[in-house]
Structure 1
């Protein structure tokens, strides 16, 4: 996997040392992934909002927003944006950028909002981190319940087929003089990335774990959640999805 995204999870504080809590709130996570192509992400959002033909000042929820970089850009495009994430550290950092029509909240993605949104974006593989299958279904239901009557939702997920085909079992990535030793493998239907490194005089071990959902898996969950899948795309330029070659699995639904 080329990315890791900060998920929400229900009652995370009651779980013991969950991997996403311990990893996504550290400064080392942001160091490892600091070279992400954010310009590509902005082009994606340009294309996506144009395709959806969102009304001026549409209400948009950026679900699992991290430190809010993409929420900020969506707001710059003229939308009324709420960025939501479990990570209190990330949300506290994001709040420094709050202004009219741009707000950030700590939120569990399995819980619906009272207010309704014209669009809900769940970007960059911020889905499939739950051990319990019901939690993934509940997330889809919460997204559906938080949409306005004419609203659209978008899940941008990895294309499992190409990820598995190109999985690099081991590598060392050096960033800011830290050598991140990375191992990747598949276990019990999850794609797992183990990250070991030494920094600040200490040794660290972290893990990322994402369910290897295919388009067929999503379709089954969406049927159960009462969601209508409108379209699928295979990259950030919104080209057609091909399971054997596409970089991404981008799903538009309502």
Structure 2
């Protein structure tokens, strides 16, 4: 499998959704309530959730009264999300590396959905598209793992059984990437995928954002919007304009 396209293959499988089926919706909803309140977003705000997966953040943001568009490269995720569509909630297949056809009041990039690419230029291109897709005074909300804490607390191997599938997971940090190797036997055959996200600490992410003309206004360390601490915070959450 070509490492560069790992996300296209893995995110489009049913096994990806099986492994992560127990993601904490309460935590995600708390974050959405906190961040929209902190930003004081009026209900007229049009939010782009990119990439949106099966739309769990989008659906909740829409329930808070916002107009929301969700975009994701994985067609099966978008097809699943489309059942939630209404007049103020839409989902589209979209590659982050491609420019948007509309502009938005806020763009949310959530749950470590960035830094997939070998070449920094592709990550910077995504940020350029996001900046160009924002209306004047629009907000960019970036939610990523805290790379420094991950490095200090790396669990190198674990086994997880979900829906009678046993996933063998190995983690490493190599060549500037945090790698998660996932292998399992299902439906009569062996499967193996590797998730990779760039080792992006606050300094590197700041440099990326400044390259395209973003200004960081606030940095948080978790979904309660507590102060960011490099060694202990669970998340790296950046608000930029």
TM-score by length of 1: 0.92
Question: What is the Cα deviation at residue 110 of structure 1?
Answer: 2.3
Q: What residue in structure 1 maps to residue 69 of structure 2?
A: 82
Q: What residue in structure 2 maps to residue 72 of structure 1?
A: 59
Q: What residue in structure 1 maps to residue 226 of structure 2?
A: 239
Where does 1:97-112 land on structure 2 (aligned, <5 Å)?
97-112=84-99
Q: What residue in structure 1 maps to residue 123 of structure 2?
A: 136
Q: What residue in structure 1 maps to residue 212 of structure 2?
A: 225
Matched, 1:48 2:16: no
What do residues 159-191 of structure 1 show as CA deviations (whole Å, max 9, x unaligned)? 001111111111111111111001001111001
| C-alpha separation in 2, matches of 1:246 and 1:236 | 10
Match of 2:6 among 19, 22, 26: 19
Where does 1:62-211 land on structure 2 (aligned, <5 Å)?
62-211=49-198
Runs of 4+ in 1 over 6 A off after TM superposition: none
Say if 2:4 and 2:118, in contact at 8 Å, map to a contact too. Answer: no
What do residues 207-238 of structure 1 show as CA deviations (whole Å, max 9, x unaligned)? 10110011000111111111111110000000
Structure 1 unaligned regions, length at least 5: 1-14
SS of the equivalent of 1:81 reads strand
Question: What is the Cα deviation at residue 112 of structure 1?
Answer: 2.9
SS of the equivalent of 2:173 reads strand
Say if 2:4 and 2:117, in contact at 8 Å, map to a contact too. Answer: no
Question: What is the Cα deviation at residue 16 of structure 1?
Answer: 8.7
Q: CA RMSD in A?
A: 1.2
SS of the equivalent of 1:18 reads helix
**Length, aligned pairs only:** 240
TM-score by length of 2: 0.97
| C-alpha separation in 2, matches of 1:17 and 1:136 | 13
Structure 2 unaligned regions, length at least 5: none
